[in-house]
Structure 1
Amino acid sequence: MTGRTLLSARWVVGHEDGRHVVHENGVVVIEGARILHVGRSFDGEVSASRDYGAAVICPGFVDLDALSDLDTTILGYDNGPAWKKGRVWPQSYIDRGPYEMYGPEELAFQKRFAFAQLIRNGITTALPIASLFYRAWGETVAEFDAAAQAATDLGLRVYLGPAYRTGGQVTDDAGNIRAVYDEARGMQGLEDAAAFARRIDGTGGGLVRAMFAPDRIETCTEALLQRTAALAAEMGAPVRQHSCQSPTELRLIEDQHGTTPIDWLARIGALGSNWLLPHGTHASPRDFALMAEHGATLVHCPLVSARHGGLLTSFPNCRDMGINIGLGTDTWPPDMILNMSLGMMTARIAESMEAIRSEDVFDAATLGGARALGRDDLGRLAPGACADIAVVDLRRTLQTPDPIQTLMTSTSGRDVRDVWIAGRCVMEDRVIPGFDVEAETTRTQAQFDGLIAKYPDRTAGHPPVEHIFTPSYRRAQ
């Protein structure tokens, strides 16, 4: 984009002296890929302008655990326990050889579809996450080459790296879950991921950066995590490691290492300030203390946790300990506004109404994510920052006197109207160029239905689909 573009709205969330500030009837001026000016007015020349009226112009959201596939966790919403419903491989599935349940074209397509959904929800920086339950083992470099191309085409800012692991979980027909390992396979996956990271970092006009994505902590060996830490430190790349998210994980880590997940990371010298740790819902006080001590980021994903009866205890306590907190969506829909709202509600349930305010979770969705990535040019609208902007429409909702409180109480991701990334308007009036929402959603549903049909293969006892996913009401004849 050449020249300057001026955006105006009833509310503009700017940034001054290290904190967000609100400009009523404010403006944002974009020059190239950066913010030139934020304030109540602008006297300079512009080549284009757009007045959004009743709207909030705010920093685009930073999603540290961004859905990049077709989310299978929604299938477990009313269907449990997980080991009975295809969320843990049965031994018979291992014996026949785990296989890819999607083909290469399907894997590439779902990344593109998922990335478009992130944009539609105002997410401008994303660190993709996908399930490995339906995979042969880990993610492939080929699908992430496709992901890098999709992000570049759509204009999404991403940190990419195929997930890898040295172990997996297997259940018997009674629900006894154990870990199985193939360290050689996992270490090769890491080396493939490292080669990918070196090759793609900084591509896509700087929108595509590298990350390392070892799978959940109970599926990784010490050698894998130590090698990951060394490679990531060498490249200055973030590492995302799912941890402290389930009783099964805690039991397996205790059985294998005699301690808790974060304590184990610290003992083996892996934990550092570039480590991003979803979800923390089962973290011990010592785990939280070690996160704070090592400068790691806690990635809070309120929606996916609450759907399964969990919550972080607690956001205010972690904040007061000095832990950097970022947010992730990690499920369908990838609605960051909904996650902020639910995160605030669950924090108040855990503590009190006075313990947390709207700006605390808004900071996590913007500044916390930027801090996790070591980026002072993201998560804020200030001169020199990246022009990554979400415009949230308020024309059809009841507004409070404060724009952030209005976002939390009266809007959702469906109210995101326009999105700008690196100065490019990647969505205008909810239209993404080259992305036909209805046609692509139809294709997505067909792909998802095909995966569901394969669930008996990887479910203990191999029951039919209708026994795995029981209906809410009897189907009328």
Structure 2
Amino acid sequence: MEGRTLLSARWVIGHQGGRHVVHEHGVVVIEGCDVLHVGSGFEGEVARRIDYGEAVISPGFVDLDALSDLDTTILGYDNGPAWKKGRVWPESYIARGPYEMYRPEELAFQKRHAFAQLIRNGITTALPIASLFYRAWGETVAEFDAAATAAEDLGLRVYLGPAYRTGGQVTDATGNIRAVFDEARGLAGLTEAADFAQRIDGTAEGRIRAMFAPDRIETCTETLLNRTAEIASEMGAPVRQHCSQSSVELRLVREQHGCAPIEWLHRIGALRGNWLLPHGTQATDAEFDLIANAGATLVHCPLVAARHGGMLKSFPKARAKGITIGLGTDTHPADMILNMQIGMMMARVSDGMEAIRSEEMFDAATLGGADALNRPDLGRLAPGTKADIAVIDLRQTLQTPDPVQTLMTSASGRDVRDVWIDGRQVMADGVIPGVDAAADATRAQAQFDRLIAKYPDRTAGHPPVSEIFTPSYERATP
């Protein structure tokens, strides 16, 4: 009974009989790092009570593709095609030698800053993702040691592993994109990632676990993926492999292997139950069958896909095949509520109004991610589960009669008020201990501006920044 905390609110999303349930005027009792009780009341003694009033006490969101840098995809929102705008390395950049566009201390800062943003949006478990376009090749163990320190300090539950690859994309001056490979460099990256995984798995009282992150499928060789599959299977760690997300990827994989991306993973024996597959927007019906048969997870990232004219075809169909579907934010802002809303809209555009209900998308943001990680103690609030909780304030929101439908229609990540992870209150009234939000935002913007200034180095033809990123309207003169 010592140290028990009772949380109450108008709405509590608990879990019974294998599915979420809603308690109106409910309570959640935390004891240590776990949930002790969920229901309409509690008769036992508690040390502290917090009444959130008009709010939703929700299981924390599980983000399987969580932004962990300063998102460069937003620069492509009105600026394309990608090969002309620095999203594909030009041959001249390769010739001079790719270099790190951020200093080590900047890489460490952006992980910590991104982790704080995840917490602000009610994300309690995260698998970080970052762009490799501005990197010399892959991510480094040093920056992930810094990421582990930041996660432990902030209290975020994470699965960590530096991204590695055996190849990259290169464009000529006319937009012909090809793959270039350095398998030895990629395999060395895998070795470093495996050593890191063994060292950090289970640290921070179990909140930090290992994962493996081979980069995009068109930049990975069969040897790299098969070795990854074996090492990860031995450790019981998840593998995240981005695939079926662009027409360029489809062309390159077909040129390299004579088949579609997920089909290739299946052919080489790498597609397994611990594999997490963002984004699937280019996947065929037959590939969805392969995912289902392997027991792998489809990681749906609706916001970033819709921004660039893409969509999953479709969430209802993949779900009907029995595929585990989790969600990833994969872009700025790391707003899982907005992500769910866009996912709902795009699924209905694809399959019609009756094809999906709010609870199915909410399941993906909570239970789907937890199931993908084989973590029945996450993504739900029930006795014995981890006390990973997001409190979403509805005082300024027009509420429907149902809290989940209200989240889908009227709320946003900015409404997240408090966050608890492993029984620790990591954010209270929007404040994260030890984080100066205003100072960090200023530092992040300055860092991002310096990166933008370097874009001509890695853009075909090396045009000035003003030509790479054209303004919405002509700049007014004084």
Per the alignment, residue 151 of structure 2 pairs with: 151
Residue type of the partner of 1:366?
T
Equivalent runs, 1:204-223 vs 2, <5 Å: 204-223=204-223
The answer for the alignment partner of 2:198 in structure 1 is 198
Secondary structure, in 3 states, of the residue corresponding to 2:281? coil
The residue identity in structure 2 corresponding to 1:400 is T
Matching residue of 2:181: 181
Partners in 2 of 1:200 and 1:319 — Cα distance? 34
Distance 1:160 1:2 in 2: 33
Give 1:14's aligned residue.
14
Give the Cα–Cα distance (whole angstroms) in 2 for the partners of residues 284 and 347 of structure 1: 16
Aligned residue for 2:460?
Answer: 460
Q: d(CA) in 2 for partners of 1:49 and 1:176?
A: 62
* Conserved 8 A contact 1:377-1:386: yes
In the alignment, the residues of structure 1 paired with residue 205 and residue 100 of structure 2 have an alpha-carbon distance, to the nearest angstrom, of 32
In the TM superposition, what is the alpha-carbon distance from 1:205 to its structure 2 partner? 1.5
- Asked if structure 1 preserves the Cα contact closer than 8 Å seen for 2:161 and 2:210, the reply is yes
The code of the aligned residue for 1:77 comes to Y
**Residue deviations 1:319-358 (CA, integer Å, cap 9, x gap):** 0000000000000000000000100000000001000000
Distance apart, 1:204 and its partner CA = 1.1
Distance in 2, matches of 1:13 and 1:437, equals 29
- Secondary structure of the structure 2 residue equivalent to 1:79: coil
Q: SS state of the match for residue 419, structure 1? A: strand
CA distance in 1, matches of 2:2, 2:274: 35
The corresponding residue for 2:360 is 360
Structure-1 separation of matches of 2:192 and 2:341 = 38
Question: Residue 35 of structure 1 corresponds to which residue in structure 2?
Answer: 35
- How many Å apart are 1:34 and its aligned residue? 0.1
Query: In the alignment, does 2:311 pair up with 1:317?
Result: no
State the distance in 1 between where 2:303 and 2:120 align: 18
Give me the whole-angstrom Cα distance separating, in 1, the residues matched to 2:223 and 2:76.
33
Where 1:43 maps in the other structure, the secondary structure is: coil
Deviation at 1:286, TM superposition (A): 1.2
Task: Measure how far apart 1:274 and its partner are.
Answer: 0.3
Contact kept in structure 2, 1:9 and 1:57, CA below 8 Å? yes
2:113 — aligned with what?
113
Match of 1:99 in 2: 99
| Structure 2 counterpart of 1:387 | 387
Alignment of 1:16-415 (within 5 A): 16-415=16-415
Amino acid at match of 2:242: H
Q: Find the residue that maps to 2:21 and give its secondary structure.
A: strand
Q: Distance in 2 between matches of 1:245 and 1:70?
A: 21
Paired letter, 2:261: P
Task: Describe the SS at the equivalent of 1:234.
Answer: helix
Cα deviation code 1:250-293 (max 9, x no counterpart): 00000000001011001101000100000000001111110000
Give me the whole-angstrom Cα distance separating, in 2, the residues matched to 1:15 and 1:285.
32
Q: How many residue pairs are counted as aligned between the two chains? A: 477
Segments of 4+ moved more than 2 angstroms: none
Q: Which amino acid in the other structure matches residue 373 of structure 1?
A: L
Normalising to structure 1: TM-score of the pair?
Answer: 1.00
Q: Which amino acid aligns with 1:171?
A: T
Q: Is the 8 A contact 1:34 1:422 kept in 2?
A: yes
Residue identity matched to 2:192? D
> How much has 1:399 moved relative to structure 2?
0.3
The letter for the 2-side match of 1:423 is: G
Separation (CA, whole Å) in 1 of partners of 2:330 and 2:389: 21
For the 8 Å contact 1:2–1:32, the answer to whether it is kept is no
Distance 1:118 1:433 in 2: 14
1: CA distance, partners of 2:266 / 2:409: 39
Provide the C-alpha distance between the structure 1 equivalents of 2:133 and 2:273, rounded to a whole number of angstroms: 29
Q: 2: distance between equivalents of 1:59 and 1:269?
A: 35
**What is the identity, as a one-letter code, of the residue corresponding to 2:254?**
E
Shift of 1:2: 5.4
- Is this contact kept in 1: 2:2–2:46, CA < 8 A? no
The amino acid of 2:127's aligned partner reads L
- Inter-partner Cα distance in structure 1 for 2:277 and 2:158: 18
Deviation at 1:159, TM superposition (A): 0.1
Could you tell me how far apart the structure 2 residues matched to 1:6 and 1:371 are? 27
**Partner deviation per Cα, 1:166-211 (whole Å, 9 max, x = no partner):** 0000000100000000000000000000000000001111110000
> Residue type matched to 1:364 in 2?
A
1:166 touches 1:183 (CA, 8 Å); kept in 2? yes
- Rounded Cα–Cα distance in structure 1 between residues aligned with 2:455 and 2:95: 16
1:472 corresponds to 2:453: no
Amino acid at match of 2:309: G
- Tell me what 2:420 maps to: 420
> CA separation in 1, counterparts of 2:451 and 2:286?
40
2:399–2:410 contact (8 Å) kept in structure 1: yes
> Any idea what SS the aligned residue of 2:205 has?
helix
Residue segments in structure 1 that go unaligned for 5+ positions in a row:
none
Could you tell me how far 1:238 is from its partner in structure 2? 0.1
Q: 1:176 to 1:9 in 2, by over 3 A?
A: same
User: Gapped runs of 5+ residues in structure 2?
Assistant: none
Alignment CA distance shift 1:202-1:2 (3 Å): farther
Q: Deviations over 1:287-318 (max 9, x none)?
A: 11100000000000000000000000100000
Q: How far apart in 2 are the matches of 1:171 and 1:395?
A: 51
Q: Distance in 2 between matches of 1:301 and 1:416?
A: 20
> Aligned partners of 1:348, 1:314: CA distance in 2, in Å?
9
- 2:135 alignment partner, SS class: coil
